[in-house]
Amino acid sequence: MATNSLPARGSSGWSISQPATKSGLAISAGTRKRLLLFVDLLIANAVLLASVVLWNEFSPSVDALVAHAKWFVTLSALWLAYAVILDVYNLARAAHTASIIAAAGVAGLLATLTYLAIPWLTPAVLRRTYAAALVIGTTGLILAWRVLYAEVLVQPTFRQRGIVFGGNTSAFELAHAIQQAGRGDQTNPFGGTGYQIVGLVADAQTMTDDERIPLLGDGRTLVRLARQYGVDEIILAVDDERDLSDEAREVLLDSRELGLRITSLVELYERLTGQLPVEYAHSNLNLLLSPSNKPSTRLYQTTKRLLDIFMALVGLSLLGVVLPFIALANALSSPGPLFYRQERVGLGGKPFAIWKLRSMVPDAEWCVGAVWCGDEDPRITPIGRFIRKTRLDELPQFLNVLRGEMSAIGPRPERPYFVGQLAKAMPIYRARNSVKPGITGWAQVHYEYGNSVEDARIKLKYDLYYVKHASLFLDFLVLLHTVRVVIGAKGQ
């Protein structure tokens, strides 16, 4: 078994990283997002301050800045809202120059123009020069900063390096996916995260043949190889901690004692992608344990329920406004019932009836039975295509939210027939039922409509992440991303 020699480039195109000393410039995925956020807000607020001082007759002082703090808070809030809606903090997009110029440019324009239109919370516009400076300065400097980030800070010098300890098949899939995440790849979930796998360390008995990742050595060489390749993190890839030998445990303890960070494959996957790997979910006890009963958990559940009631009342009010127009269009293009009732699986696996505006021809499943809606499905009516694209067909579900059968945010409720199929293919699928299903959710805003088992597998990764990390902050992010989905008419 090889310990120091590296295999040649394989047919898969694996580019072997050469030994390197740690540069100290590696930027983690979390730090990248914080850096982008900090500099964006710094630029926006600095331009605002300069603009009101130079062109809007504002005399700066500590007392004056404190008294007018609302100016800066409002601009920051507007930028954050538009930035999240336009997915400006998606690392794959941030690493792609053309995409980030479009997204950040529109976010900057919308934030500053909206800012100028808000009274009381913003400075009175005394000179048009101030308004122009704010819009052009903020948008231009943010774009310059984002181009600098995309062209410089995604280079290898600033990437984190990891070494995989363990030899199971899933480790190879992970390593290969990370390695294939180039600068311009916005479809790979690891795109733009600035992470690089240098190779694998595994014992002969746990090794699986795979040409896509170089074998650097066995467990005894872990510490030396981690130093030799300038590794920031050791990725522990074992299906069960009982698979670790006593010798392997000692090596990991040595690594930890010397200050090397040790991360599980699941934790790394979550951190870089916002998903939970289905392949490892069965060994993640956090999904099997009930939420803690501490006050913060109870407060979140109570607050979420109150917000659900509020959003349900708003949603049903909106339904009342659009319903006459949809009813008329439906009657003209496809006579039949206005509403559609269907059984879905909810909290605890309990079935309930979901309500939607009918978007298909009457009795659409009379011949074919339960099937996923396909692309350009002929069963969808002309008005049905519009209300599905804009998600207006979902509005009656706010009645389910008001009744407590659903939440505004959560995993999408699925039909019993499909739940049975998917639970057989992925037993962990039932973990979705530990929270209330939602009208929108983490999976819906990150992945398009799915009409296959493979699509369901990908969406399950997002759903499981939400189940594990559900919080008011995550719910707020989902709501902002939902605005992008609705505006972009990405429903199906």
Chain-centre distance for alpha carbon 291: 22
Asked whether residue 104 is assigned to any structural domain, the reply reads yes
Is residue 19 in a domain?
no
Residue 30 reports pLDDT greater than 70: yes
* 224 falls within a domain: yes
- Verify that 349 and 463 share a domain, yes or no: yes
Q: Are residues 403 and 325 in the same domain?
A: yes
d(Cα 119, Cα 117) in Å, to the nearest integer?
6
How many other C-beta atoms can be found within 10 angstroms of the C-beta atom of residue 9? 12
- For residue range 343-401, list pLDDT tens digits in order: 999 999 999 999 999 888 776 665 555 555 655 666 788 888 888 888 899 999 999 99
Q: Pick left, alpha or beta for residue 416 (phi over 0 → left; psi -120 to 50 → alpha; otherwise beta).
A: alpha
Provide the b/e sequence for 14-39 (b: ≥16 CB within 10 Å): beebeeeeeeeebbbbeebeeebbeb
Ramachandran angles phi, psi of 420, nearest 5°: -60, -45
Residue 49 reports pLDDT greater than 70: yes
Q: Tell whether 285 is covered by a domain.
A: no
Tally of domains in the chain: 3
State whether 195 and 299 are in the same domain: no
- How much is the pLDDT for 8? 35
Residue 246 is assigned to a structural domain of this protein: yes
Asked whether residue 205 carries a pLDDT value surpassing 60, the answer given is: no
Q: Is 289 among the domain residues?
A: no
**72: CB partners within 8 A, 6+ apart:** 45, 48, 49
pLDDT of residue 23: 58
Query: Do 63 and 118 fall into the same domain?
Result: yes
Examine the domain organization and report whether 306 and 405 are in the same domain.
Answer: yes
Q: Quick one: which of 168, 162, 155, 333 has its CA closest to 237?
A: 168
Residues 35 and 121 in one domain: yes
Tokens 């600033």 -> residue: 158
What's the predicted TM-score (pTM) here? 0.83
pLDDT in tens, 267-311: 888 888 888 887 766 656 565 566 667 788 889 999 999 999 999
**The most confident of 15-29, 76-90, 161-175, 210-224, by mean pLDDT:** 76-90
% of the chain beyond a pLDDT of 90: 45
Q: Are residues 107 and 180 in the same domain?
A: no
Q: Do residues 306 and 413 share a domain?
A: yes
- Checking if the pLDDT of 92 tops 50, the result is yes
Strands 339-345 and 351-357: antiparallel
Evaluate if residue 188 carries a pLDDT over 80.
Answer: no
Average pLDDT, the chain: 84
In angstroms, the CA 89 to CA 45 distance is 18
The pLDDT of residue 264 is 83
Assigned domain for 6 exists: no
Residue type at position 358: R
Mean pLDDT computed over 414-436:
88
Q: Find the domain containing 471 and state its range.
A: 295-362+374-487
Question: Could you say which of 97, 128, 153 is where a domain stops?
Answer: 153
User: For residue 214, what is the domain's CATH number?
Assistant: 3.40.50.20
Q: Could you say which of 103, 129, 153 is where a domain stops?
A: 153
Residue 367 placed within a domain: no
How much is the pLDDT for 22?
56
pLDDT at 169: 66
CA atoms within 13 A on the CB side of 141: 17
Between 49-53, 224-228, 257-261, 344-348, the lowest mean confidence (pLDDT) is in 257-261
Please give the angle made by the CA atoms of 341, 440 and 333, to the nearest 5 degrees. 45
Q: Taking Cα atoms as reference points, which of 204, 233, 196, 232 lies closest to residue 220?
A: 204
User: Are residues 445 and 305 both part of a single domain?
Assistant: yes
Q: What is the pLDDT of residue 101?
A: 95
Look at residue 5 and tell me whether its pLDDT is greater than 60: no
DSSP state of 391: T
pLDDT band at residue 10 under the 50/70/90 scheme: very low
Are 226 and 126 contained in the same domain?
no
pLDDT at 206 over 70: no
- Tell me which of 47 and 264 has the higher pLDDT: 47
| Co-location of 318 and 170 in the same domain | no
Query: 193 with 313, same domain?
Result: no
Among the three residues 273, 306, 321, which one is the final residue of a domain in this structure? 273
pLDDT at 14: 37
158 within 8 A of 26, measured Cβ to Cβ: yes
